[in-house]
Each structure stands twice: as C-alpha cells, then as structure tokens.
Amino acid sequence: MYVLRLLRIFVPLLIVAAIVAGSVLVLTARSDLQRSRKQVDSAWAPLRTLLDRRYLTLASANDKLQSVPGPVHQLVEQVSDAYGTWRSLEEHNGSVTAEVVAANDLESLGRRLVLAARATPRLAGDAVALAPANAFAALTPPAAAGHFDATVHSFEQARNRPARSLAARILGYGSIPTYDSSGFG
C-alpha cells in the first residue's frame, strides 16, 4: 500500500522532470545549432557566387557539344537539366542543402561530359568544340570550398552530439552535404 502511494507521487514527478529536462536540452541546443547553421550559410554565399561563374563555363561547353549524338548528347541533356535546377534554386531562394546537392550534381556531370567529349572520336580533331569543355576542366575548384566544407564539418559535429541530435531533429536542423571539389586532378 505504502509503495503504491509512493509510486503515485514519484511517477508523475519523474515524467514532469523528464519533460522539463528535454525542454531545457532543446532550448539550450537551439542557439548553438542556429549559430553553426548561420556560419554554414555565410560560408556558402561567396562560394555560390564563384560556382555561378564556374557553371557558366560548363553551360558554354554544353552548348558547343549540343549537336554531338550518342552518349555525349545524353550528358548534354543531363547537364542542361542540372543547370536549370541550379538556376531555379537561385531564383527561388533554395536551401543551402539543395544548392550543394545541385552543385555536386553539376560537378559530377561536368566531369563526365568533359571525359566523354575528349573520348569521342567525332571530336578528336575539333579543337573549337572541345575548347569550352577543356576550359571547364582547367578551372580549379574555388578556394572558398575548403572553408565551406570546414564549417559544414563543424555544424555536423555540433548537430550529431549525443544530447543535441534529438534537439536537431526536433528543431529541423537536417544534415548538410559538403561540396565535392575533387575536380579533374
């Protein structure tokens, strides 16, 4: 009897204490997560500007290779679609995560397009058609990419701490991918 009375008192107290502790955890983690996320957004802005110029070069290569049939033409269409997505995200204020994914897609497709164009026998002697593709291949990844990746890494560490992972999930701080700057090297 005495034990049941104690349980009737302590169980609700434990539940209230757990709710209060969880609320405190979420509220204290929020400011750190916000600060880290703002640093990621700030690091992305200058990189995005540099990538706009980079992808204009890729679009130029894409335009020159438009008339080549076969696998190159399929890549041209994929690059065109990916570039349209990139431009659309800028026009509609897309999230950093969506923009990084689009940038990584363009990087991958750009590398594939350059390699396919260089390997195509039809373009072997056509320096004019290959010039924009070679210009894209010669571009080095922006130096700002390293700073962006470092801030993403810092954000992910803050986000994935055991006590903060739940708070990050509740507050909607999802994972952010790093920029793939592997290039042609």
Would residue 136 count as lying in a domain? Answer: yes
Please give the model's pTM, rounded to 2 decimal places: 0.82
Range of the domain at 42: 15-152
How many helices and strands, by DSSP H and E, does the chain display?
Answer: 6, 0
At residue 151, the pLDDT reads 95
Would residue 86 count as lying in a domain? Answer: yes
Q: What is the DSSP letter of 12?
A: H
Cα gap 116→69, rounded to integer Å: 12
At residue 23, the pLDDT reads 65
Whether residue 92 has pLDDT greater than 90: yes
Contact 87, 62 (CB under 8 A): no
As given in the structure block, the two tokens for residue 118 are 């260089």
Read off the pLDDT band of 129 (50, 70, 90).
Answer: confident
Which percentage of the chain shows pLDDT scores above 90? 42
Would residue 176 count as lying in a domain? Answer: no
At residue 21, the pLDDT reads 65
Contact 30, 22 (CB under 8 A): no
Contact 177, 97 (CB under 8 A): yes
* pLDDT digits 0-9 by tens, 34-75: 898 999 999 999 999 999 999 999 998 888 888 888 888 899
Would residue 40 count as lying in a domain? Answer: yes
26 contacts: CB under 8 Å, gap ≥ 6: 166, 167, 170, 171
The amino acid at 56: L
Cα gap 109→129, rounded to integer Å: 18
Averaged pLDDT of the chain: 86
Would residue 170 count as lying in a domain? Answer: no
At residue 184, the pLDDT reads 57
Which percentage of the chain shows pLDDT scores above 70? 92
Would residue 134 count as lying in a domain? Answer: yes
Would residue 178 count as lying in a domain? Answer: no
Contact 106, 55 (CB under 8 A): yes
Would residue 173 count as lying in a domain? Answer: no
- Is 47 or 182 the better-scoring residue by pLDDT? 47
Overall number of domains in the chain: 1
Kindly state the average pLDDT of the residues 166-179: 84
Cβ atoms within 10 Å, residue 147: 16
